[in-house]
Amino acid sequence: MIRWRRARLTAAREETPTARTLVFEVADWPGHLAGQHVDVRLTAPDGYTAQRSYSLAAPEGVELTVEGLPDGEVSPYLVDELTVGDEIELRGPVGGWFVWRPAVTTPVLLVAGGSGIVPLMAMIRARRLMGGETPFHLVYSLGEPARRYYAAELDTPEPWLTITWVHTRVAPHRRITKDDLPGPGPDVFVCGPTGFVEAAADLLLDLGHDPGQVRTERFGG
């Protein structure tokens, strides 16, 4: 069984007005693959605990990006209250299916809805670290450009990375369609809220993608 470890917040940066990236120092962290997540546990002074999952945002070190839900229990605390030097508990890495392994050179299609970009960004960063020839295509659907995570990084062109942006709340308001997605061939990773993941997976299967090559991760919601 994976044990709980203490994690100390060493740095935090704002991604958007509602999302924050948190960098933790975790003693004896065993390392992880891009796409894996951790379980985070908060304990109140009266002993009440709450536990949620968060994807690892980078291939090295323990870095999470959390979207604060206005009516959520855990995420507003992580985004607005946790201070550098504070400790929480986490357990991981978790997950062995929704992972990109740098040794696999099949082209990659990443399909992100909102905060679903987080584990996909770990894959992009792992690809950058690794070098090589593997082409990546990211399709990133979000409300508006101001909600982009990792904006400066994704605005820096990389010859191996193609990005298709879909904005649902600025003109032309639209949702992801088959025209945004390439045909079968690449290994596909889809991540986001449950409804988004189901819609994107249906489009991919309609386009003829092999279900065995389409991996999905649902964030709930």
Ligand X SMILES: Cc1cc2nc3c(=O)[nH]c(=O)nc-3n(C[C@H](O)[C@H](O)[C@H](O)COP(=O)(O)OP(=O)(O)OC[C@H]3O[C@@H](n4cnc5c(N)ncnc54)[C@H](O)[C@@H]3O)c2cc1C
Of the candidate residues 21, 115, 141, 216, the single one contacting ligand X (CB under 6 A): 115
**Contact status: 220 vs ligand X (CB under 6 A):** yes
- Length, in residues, of the chain: 221
**Contact status: 71 vs ligand X (CB under 6 A):** yes
**Contact status: 53 vs ligand X (CB under 6 A):** yes
Q: Which is nearer to ligand X, 184 or 193 (CB)?
A: 193
Of the candidate residues 7, 15, 36, 54, the single one contacting ligand X (CB under 6 A): 54
Strands 108-113 and 187-192: parallel
What are phi and psi for residue 203, nearest 5 degrees?
-60, -45
Q: Which is nearer to ligand X, 68 or 182 (CB)?
A: 68
Of the candidate residues 63, 180, 187, 217, the single one contacting ligand X (CB under 6 A): 217
Burial 69-97 (b: 16+ CB within 10 A, else e): eeebebbebbbeebeeeeebbbbbbebee
60: its two tokens? 């090295």
CB of 97 to ligand X, least distance (A): 11
Instruction: State how far the Cα of 159 lies from the Cα of 74, in Å rounded to an integer.
Output: 38
**Contact status: 118 vs ligand X (CB under 6 A):** yes
**Contact status: 96 vs ligand X (CB under 6 A):** no
